[in-house]
Chain A
Amino acid sequence: MTREPVLTFTENGIYCPAGDFYIDPWRPVDRALITHGHADHARDGMGSYLATHAALPVMRHRLGEIAIEGIAYGERRQIGGATVSFHPAGHVPGSAQIRVEVGGEVWVASGDYKVIDDGMSEPFEPVRCHHFITESTFGLPVFRWAPQAEVAGQINDWWAGCKAAGKTAFLGAYSLGKAQRLLSMLDPAIGPILTHTAVENTNAVLRVQGITLPETTLVTPDLALKDHPGALVLAPPSALGSQWARRFGPQESAFASGWMALRGVRRRRAGDRGFVISDHADWHGLLWAIRETGAENIYVTHGYTDIFTRYLNDQGWNAQVVPTQFDSDGGDSE
């Protein structure tokens, strides 16, 4: 007696037949449940959106006038034959794992997640389930994150060193999530913090919803650098080495990303320094999260899917690779 799976993997994305909805679809559909506001998960053109209350402001900011409804973490909602609820994924503020239950069978689509508390995002909560859909962006044993405080120390030391050498510290990071996490780690006593428009726009959205960030100054065309000695500039990675970056005079550049764990990538992408900090789980974080769900069936999406899946199968899980379209270059979107 086979029955239809609770979630299936279709051309449009993850689909729930019982509830007739999609999770993070990459093509326009009628009803979309969204794990978080990053561009590769929350796309334009859906008939309606459902996301956590905390994810709404960023999504509205990015997608404009959309039919979107908010839901509280843990709130259970019936959609057709499915019961759905959203649970913290710890990836960025407002990010969620989506739990879908049909006839007693529980699936969890975790979107992107990290298992350590960054002090800003709602911390990851394991959700018991039978089927777990996991990412594997950093699904190799070479990825192991140092405690956040240690990385904060490295970044602040670097900034203080730049300041002492009369240089601007130019730090590249993804505008939504990573940039604000870095802001919360910076020591404002060292000097002023200047921001690129892309970063400042997200700051504004998150501040309105009650997230505390240190004081920042938006870089405008008439901003005089000499009024901000010892500044740190926070900008999207694409601004590293750009024309825009040149206005900050003598500078050292750095890039903050999990990819900076690899020396080769660091040398290709980072300019001078690379700080290893990610909003995705590292190897041990992924394995811990999977164990905590109690799930036997694991579906592995973007990242080192083949290798990670093989390892899970070796360890006794029933794991398989799930093709995905939101498999973007982790270097920028993480």
Chain B
Amino acid sequence: MKDFAALFNAVDQTTKTTVKVAALAEYFTTAAEEDRLWTVALFSGRRPKRAVTTTKLREWASEASGVPLWLFEDSYAIVGDLAETISLVLPPVESEDTGTLTAWINALRGLKDEDDAARKAFVLSAWQQLGGTERFLFNKLITGGFRIGISQTLMTRALSRASGRPEPEMAHRLMGNWDPDDVTWHSLIEAEDASADASRPYPFYLAYALEDGPEALGTPEDWRAEWKWDGIRGQLILRDGDYFVWSRGEELMTDRFPELARAADHLPPGTVLDGELLVWQPGAEFPSSFNALQARIGRKTVPKKLLKEAPVVLHAYDLLEWQGADIRDRPFAERRALLEKAAADLPEDAPVRLSPQHQFTDWSQLATLRDTAREAQAEGLMLKRADSPYLSGRKKGDWWKWKLDPLTIDAVMIYAQSGSGRRANLFTDFTFAVWNGNDLVPFTKAYSGLTDAEFRQITAWVRKNTQQRFGPVRQVTPHHVFEIAFEGIQPSPRHKSGVALRFPRMLRWRKDKPLQEANTLDDLKEMLRIYG
């Protein structure tokens, strides 16, 4: 545990990626193989099965520290991390020799057959043995979520350096649902035949946003354009007679989309498609809004009724594997031609469709098309270079998302709430309102979009202009106007204003704008009429 804590500190105490990668690569070379394997697992979001509930952890931490439970909970709300809160409220101790990471993980896993009393005794004793970072990490092993500023990219780079193998290969090896119990360091990282689980997806290729127009990209003939759909990016894998659906967050979502099972009737095994999961009513010209999809995402198993009300299709835009061969190195135009061929015989009601490409000869034509994206329930356009390979991760140059400008409205801040975690001592969560006659009607919350300096400034202002407190929420004097940007607007009977926004955020602090000039509820309703 000491080595692992030292690694954690080395990575946590710097903002420089070179230093982080060096510390990781060193650890992946020198630490015991089983500890390395667990480290890769933990940093890629895997964790041992939870042996203790977080409710129990809170109770025990409250008891062991003498801090009343309500005070512990209030502290947790401010710290924003349960593992950290526990390690801070308990009395400090100096760690002795504490055993390896793997030994602690195995001990934790051994608890699953124990009763609560034994679990509690184990956890309390661990808290007494482990000090500082080690105690925090022990708690993290239980609660999960090692967000420590190591992206998959950095870990891949470090593994590549430690193993001497290329980064894209490492990225691919780490994909999918491997479990540290079923693999070894050797089989995961080093073995020549990485014959993985049939469900293993490819790393997604992610586009950067195109900030200015596409003119700088060169000649239109070199590019292909498609809608940028407002759904969930997904990878459909057909191998060995089975099908798997992965989200781009690397979550296996197969069970949530049973209708995709029928894809195997129309496409051969050894096929992997990249596309967008969308709710699309039979015969409809465009997909349903993201809201409809949200109902589906929330359900791990889908009731028949919902399956019928909100049928999902995959709009495929890329082919990554064909006839069992990884074809990501081939030019996009070639992959697309194969995809079109494969999709040619799909019947109308198949759960997979080809995402259409737009014909265009000059950029202005494309710009005109982009302006109509909202009507097609799209967020804008995707531009892909015809000769580009399918890379892994977010890379600049070949793929661009050219999104619509967001909708905006000027609104008045009326409530403020402090953040947690990184924003523990700042007011960052605000409620905004628009005018309805002389009243201000709340219609959205927003948390992001301001700089740290602006958050500090508004925090100082909130403290001086609090009218009333409701628990952690402060009602402030209506004074500041913010330009709120959002991607979509929907009717919502649950909200006082009658609308719900998609991706609301603060675009600008309109210090130039007097309170009375903020927008009105009628303005919002007009937007709902046009874009809802």
Q: Which A residues fall within an 8 A CB radius of B?
A: 140-144, 146, 252, 259, 261-265, 267-269, 271-273, 304, 306-307, 310-311, 314, 323, 325, 327-332
Contact = CB atoms under 8 A, between A and B. Distances in A.
B85 A142 contact: yes
Interface of B: 12-16, 65, 67-68, 70-72, 74-75, 78-81, 84-85, 88-89, 92, 149, 420-426, 452, 456, 459-460, 463-464, 466, 469
Contacts of A269: 452
Chain B facing A: main interface SS: helix
B424 A273 contact: no
A42 B84 CA distance: 36
B68 A314 contact: yes
A330 B463 CA distance: 12
A264 B464 contact: no
Contact of B81 (A264, A268, A330): A264
Given A142-B75, A272-B16, A330-B425, 8 more contacts: A144-B88, A252-B14, A263-B84, A264-B80, A265-B425, A311-B68, A325-B463, A329-B425
A259 B422 contact: no
B67 A141 contact: yes
Nearest to A254: B13
Nearest to A321: B469
**7 closest Cβ pairs, A-B complex:** A264-B421, A142-B88, A264-B422, A327-B463, A268-B422, A141-B67, A141-B89
16 contacts: A141-B71, A141-B75, A142-B88, A262-B424, A263-B12, A263-B81, A264-B80, A267-B149, A307-B71, A307-B75, A311-B68, A311-B71, A314-B68, A328-B463, A331-B425, A331-B456
Nearest to A324: B463
A256 to B, nearest CB: 14
B295 to A, nearest CB: 33
Contacts of B452: 268-269
Nearest to B70: A310
Contact of A262 (B16, B79, B459): B79
Nearest to B62: A141
Given A262-B424, A264-B79, A328-B460, A272 B13 contact: yes
A265 B422 contact: yes
Interface centre among A140, A304, A327, A328 (most CB of B within 10 A): A140
B71 A306 contact: no
A304 B421 CA distance: 16
A329 B423 contact: no
A50 B70 CA distance: 42
Contacts of A263: 12, 81, 84
A268 B423 contact: yes
A261 B422 contact: no
Contacts of B67: 141
Contacts of B14: 252, 272
